[in-house]
A and B are shown apart, each in its own frame.
Chain A
Amino acid sequence: MGKNLLFPPGPGADPLHIVYEEDGLKRESSAPCQLNCPAGIDIPSYIALIGRGEYDKAIAIIRNDNPFPWVCGLICPNPCEQWCQRRYLDKALCIKDLKGLAARMVMEKGTGYLIPEPKERYSEKVAVIGSGPAGLTAAYFLAWQGYRVTVFEAMPEPGGLMIAGIPEFRLPRDFVRREIQAIRDMGVEIVVNTPIGDEVSLDELRNQGYKAFFLGIGAWEGLRLGIEGENDYPQVISALEFLKDVSFGKKIKPANSVAIVGGGNAAIDAARTCVRLGSQSVSIVYRRTRSEMPAHFEEIIQMAEEGIHVHQLTIPSKILGSYGKIDFLECLMATLGEPDESGRRRPTAVSGSEYKMPVGAVIGAIGQKPAIRRYPGFGYLDLTRRETIRVRSHNQQTNVPDVFAGGDAVTGPATVVEAIGGGKRAAFAIHAFLRDLKMPEIVPPRPRTMIPPIVLDYHKKSFIQRQEIPLIDLDRRMHSFDRVELGLDEIAGREEAKRCMRCDICERCGKCVEVCRDRLGVSAIRFFHSGESSLILKDYVHGLPKCIGCGSCVNICPTGALQLEDRDGERVLLMSGTVINRIKLETCEGCGAQYVTKVMVRHVEKLIEAPEEAFEQKLCQDCKRISKAFKMVGETPDFSVQRIQ
């Protein structure tokens, strides 16, 4: 406590309320975006750095927790934005695109990523199986710890879903390759075309001297549709297989008319890829409604723009065809019943509502599972009901002590950022395992640093709108694999960064409100409930018209988010870097010091009901004493010579 010079807590604050570590940073981050980031990135700090134009430092902060800022800047489903407190004022920040901007500025205009030096050098070798986001993240953090890491990849190119799954129009391959190169530069060896578990088993690697293993093998096996005719036609393909083929150059359209079964991101990616490959009619068959689709909101919008039709409340029941080719997909209509265990309403088929949809190919995208069964070498691993690898959630350790796992192989089909989080946890657990340390516990993310906020006035801050992300022309989108979302440019990014409310400084404890409303009786500073348990200062638009500038809130503030400064004849009240009020100061007639706000004097006058002449002369407390002393002996006060301390 007290070492954080940037935000010293108020003198009246309770020191036990917020715990600071020795480095002067909070023990636990208070920013909802950071707390909800699966990788635990210190979002407010890097946004502030982007606002200052210090992209190198921003990337360095992101790469403390996430080796793929550029990939995440393009395709992260941004759970952070869903928790952004700014959305209770207007809209959330474009956190994802800010990250992308920083990465682009460093990679394209700057010097590239800074390759961190290992903290130590250890002799142990660690094998990472699978070079998806989880595996590469684990490799990155292990190499940073100082281990010799070898990554084994079954496919001809490392990257997992980032290379072979997510279509190019969302994630250009060049960006992925450059970020993977940055991991290679740390000394990580990546061996491609080498599947482990089938011919080469883990035991063989153990004999080669590998001391610990990380399995990031992903979930590549598409779930079967389980309908009649599924196995009879070659045009029934799984979404991931299809996307993989397209990614590796087999850009052939499945048919002129394609039906994609499912409502997740894989389904939409497959559908949009079909459009780009030239399919005339692409439709998504989904058994619930559009609002229940698990895919990202933006993707659903963009998909609709590209002319993909969604057959809602439709359950495929049969695939019909002739001469080895599909002619129809027979479907049933459905209604939504009671919510199931996932909280979504369960669809029930309406009997007798069968109809035939003329299609040439069916792409199944109803989920995937890890292809563990295909690799007998992993047979001794404990699996869950969904055939994913069972791990301890806080350290990613499987039932075999030296084998750790993460990514889709553990979570089932999920997101890149969740895989990164899993890889990071596993890397620290492997370090603890190899060094015989205590296994890491679940710890909430900590702030990585404390960056001074960008000082702005409340009205300016509240009127900056969320930046629109420019998209390329629709016509070009439908015919090429060019990147759809162009991201923020530098100017827009700087503006966007200014919108951040810096929840890492203010904890929204409401002590200032309590003191101002309940004890002072002024009710100037007001927080409103936002969401379920959080508070937000909503007076950004109006400032604090009732404020008398007494500073009680600053006194009580336990985080130092509220600050008071007297400058240029004004008392300025700052909250997390935003000027929320400016009040004119009174000047002492004796010494010329600006000692109290004008409203404060009026406020006190009203309270004590003193005769008016009592406050005619404006004097600070020291000059009042001098004036009274002189008057007691009948002299005219002389303020100039009396300032002996």
Chain B
Amino acid sequence: MSEYYIYQDQKRCIGCRACEVHCKTKNDVPVGASFCKIIPVGPKVQDGIPRIKFIFMPCFHCETPWCVSACPTGAMQRRTEDGIVSVDKSLCIGCKACITACPWGSPQWNKETGRVFKCDYCKDRIDEGLEPACVTGCTTAALKWVSPSESSSLKREKFAKKITQGAPTS
């Protein structure tokens, strides 16, 4: 896990996909590919009321990313200072090994350039001190950009608890 984390408050998310739109606009992603995706789970009837959950699926920037180990050319790189995994366009040859390797389906195929691209947490914005486009664009403030100073291990545990509490019990 990188030093950053996008926390999604599922109670607040209404599935408007503004995060996807902002991501696409900012990163200039063509039709077909998407760096982050809202996956709706449900609707399911819970206590007589239909409920739907929207799961935000960006790249999670793994600690030991398989995409990086699979890349034959070293185009897929993990930034040492903060652990952001991104693609060096000039090195990518479009072999799609990372796409096959990633269990989360994060690396995306760019048909126009014949190369892979993926979520890099908008690292240019982060370097400027801003938040990623999806977080900035979130209409209900469901997405939160958690930087190292705020996120302690305790906090992460709390997020995990919240996720499990949100899961249907019955």
Q: Does A114 contact B (CB under 8 A)?
A: no
> Within 8 Å of chain A (Cβ to Cβ): is B156?
no
Question: B18 near A: Cβ within 8 Å?
Answer: no
Given contact pairs A520-B72, A596-B100, A608-B69, A633 touches B57 in the complex (Cβ within 8 A)? no
Q: How many residues of B contact A (CB 8 A)?
A: 37
5 cross-chain pairs, A with B, having the tightest CB-CB distances, nearest first: A11-B114, A624-B105, A629-B39, A625-B105, A621-B105
In the complex, chain A residues 594-622 whose Cβ is within 8 Å of any chain B Cβ: 596, 600-601, 603-604, 607-610, 614, 619-622
- Please tell me if the beta carbons of A604 and B97 are within 8 angstroms of each other in the complex: yes
Chain A positions within 8 Å of B, measured between CB atoms, are 10-12, 515, 519-521, 550-552, 555-556, 596, 600-601, 603-604, 607-610, 614, 619-626, 628-630, 632-635, 642, 644
Contact call A621/B99, Cβ cutoff below 8 A:
yes
B93: chain A residues within 8 A (beta carbon): 12, 515, 519-520, 552, 555-556
Contact code string B12-50 (vs A, CB < 8 Å = 1, else 0): 000000000000000000000000010111000000000
Closest B residue to A550 by CB, please name it. Answer: B95
Q: Distance in Å from the Cβ of B102 to the closest Cβ of chain A?
A: 7
CA distance A268 to B102 in the complex (A): 72
Closest to A13 in B: B114
Report yes or no: A596 in contact with B41, Cβ–Cβ below 8 A: no
Cα distance, A521 to B72, chains bound together (Å): 7
Taken together as a complex, chains A and B put the C-alpha atoms of A629 and B167 apart, in Å, by: 12
Q: Does B153 contact A (CB under 8 A)?
A: no
Count of A-B contacts judged by CB separation below 8 Å? 108
Known: A604-B70, A635-B41. A624 touches B112 (CB 8 A): no
In the bound complex, how far is the Cα of B55 from the Cα of A634, in angstroms? 12
B125 within 8 A of A: no
Could you tell me if A628 and B103 are in contact, using CB atoms closer than 8 angstroms? yes
Give the residues from 41 to 87 in chain B that come closer than 8 angstroms, CB to CB, to chain A.
Answer: 41, 53, 55, 57, 66, 69-70, 72-73
Q: Which of B39, B53, B102, B163 has the most CB of A within 10 A?
A: B39
Most buried by B among A552, A556, A623: A552
- What residues of chain B lie closer than 8 Å to A626, measured between beta carbons? 39
Other contacts beyond A555-B93, A625-B105, A629-B57: 20, CB < 8 A: A11-B113, A11-B115, A12-B113, A515-B93, A520-B95, A551-B94, A600-B96, A621-B99, A621-B107, A622-B105, A624-B103, A625-B37, A625-B104, A628-B57, A630-B41, A630-B55, A632-B55, A633-B167, A635-B41, A642-B40
Contact status B97-A550, CB under 8 Å: yes
Cβ contact within 8 Å between A607 and B69? yes
Separation in Å of the A132 CB from the closest CB of chain B? 53
The complex places the Cα of A552 from the Cα of B163 at a distance, in Å, of: 40
Contacting residues, chain B, for A630 (C-beta < 8 A): 39, 41, 55
B166 interface residue per 8 A CB criterion:
yes
Which of chain B's residues have a CB closer than 8 A to the CB of A629?
Answer: 39, 41, 55, 57
**Residues on B with beta carbons closer than 8 Å to the beta carbon of A520:** 72-73, 93, 95
Q: Which residues of A sit under 8 angstroms from B57, Cβ to Cβ?
A: 625, 628-629
Least Cβ–Cβ distance between B151 and chain A, in angstroms: 19
Identify which of B53, B94, B163 gathers the most chain A CB atoms within 10 Å of its CB: B94
Q: Is B111 an interface residue (CB 8 A)?
A: yes
Contact B111 A11 (CB under 8 A): yes
B53 touches A633 (CB 8 A): yes
Q: Are A600 and B100 in contact (CB under 8 A)?
A: yes
Q: Which residue of A lies closest to B15 (CB)?
A: A644
Q: Does the CB pair B163–A632 fall under 8 Å?
A: yes
Residues of B near A601 (CB, < 8 A) are: 100
Q: Are B103 and A607 in contact (CB under 8 A)?
A: no
Bound-state Cα–Cα, A623 to B104, Å:
9
Q: What is the chain A residue whose CB lies nearest that of B44?
A: A635
> What B residues does A521 contact at CB under 8 A?
72
Contacting pair B113 A621 (CB below 8 A):
no
Q: Mark B111-123, 1 if CB is under 8 A from A, else 0.
A: 1111100000000
Q: Is B138 an interface residue (CB 8 A)?
A: no
Cα separation A622 to B108 with both chains bound (whole Å): 10
B72 touches A519 (CB 8 A): yes
Residues of B within 8 A of A607 (CB): 69-70, 72, 97, 101
